[in-house]
């Protein structure tokens, strides 16, 4: 039985990798895509999380969900890409990263992204942006950039048709930091 489970796992991984390898989608052409640039300079140590889920894998996940369970199928439908980078930053490099976050803020706002959250506190620095779709009734992208005093940095880009009412469910499903924190979203 254990060998059968291992074999099925290997077949699933192989099928997923073949599916991903056949993906020629250029996500940079989607209006909700944002390039964070090279963050590798800031990434230190072993506390690194990188999530990169494209539309093929999202479709596979969508097909395997129970439509009654958290309405996950409705959340995943229309998404093209979910990218998350979470890592620790050395104290001496936090100021440089804050400068990069301010550059990102200028870039996003100049490209008609709407900043919906801005938190500048001694223990946290957070920006949240949405990219309205052409009809202004939908959202085609979401970007989150946050740096905590303890050096934990998180950058998130979700590309595709986003249902903001369901984004909390998506964040819990993928364990995306910052979305599930009520205090980050309650900015005056």
Break the chain into its structural domains and give their ranges.
25-185
Cα–Cα distance, 58 to 64 (Å, whole number): 10
Instruction: For the chain, count helices (H), then strands (E).
Output: 6, 6
Q: How far is CA 80 from CA 16, 26, 53, 118, 130, in A?
A: 16, 10, 8, 26, 15
pLDDT truncated to tens, each residue of the chain (188 aa)? 444 454 445 445 544 554 444 556 788 888 899 999 888 878 877 888 888 888 777 766 655 555 445 555 666 677 889 999 999 998 889 999 999 999 999 999 999 999 999 999 988 999 999 998 876 667 899 999 999 999 999 999 999 887 666 656 656 666 655 444 443 333 33
């Amino acid at each position: 039985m254990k060998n059968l489970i291992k074999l099925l796992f290997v077949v699933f991984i192989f099928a997923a990798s073949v599916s991903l390898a056949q993906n020629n989608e250029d996500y940079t052409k989607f209006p909700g895509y944002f390039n964070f640039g090279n963050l590798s300079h800031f990434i230190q140590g072993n506390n690194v999380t990188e999530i990169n889920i494209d539309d093929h894998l999202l479709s596979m996940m969508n097909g395997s969900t129970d439509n009654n369970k958290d309405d996950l199928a409705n959340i995943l439908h229309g998404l093209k890409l979910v990218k998350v980078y979470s890592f620790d930053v050395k104290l001496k490099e936090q100021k440089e990263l804050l400068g990069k976050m301010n550059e990102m803020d200028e870039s996003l706002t100049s490209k008609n992204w709407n900043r919906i959250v801005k938190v500048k506190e001694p223990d946290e620095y957070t920006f949240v942006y949405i990219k309205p779709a052409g009809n202004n009734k939908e959202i085609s992208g979401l970007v989150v950039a946050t740096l905590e005093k303890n050096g934990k940095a998180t950058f998130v880009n979700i590309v595709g048709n986003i249902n903001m009412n369901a984004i909390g469910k998506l964040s819990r499903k993928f364990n995306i930091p910052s979305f599930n924190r009520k205090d980050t979203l309650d900015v005056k």
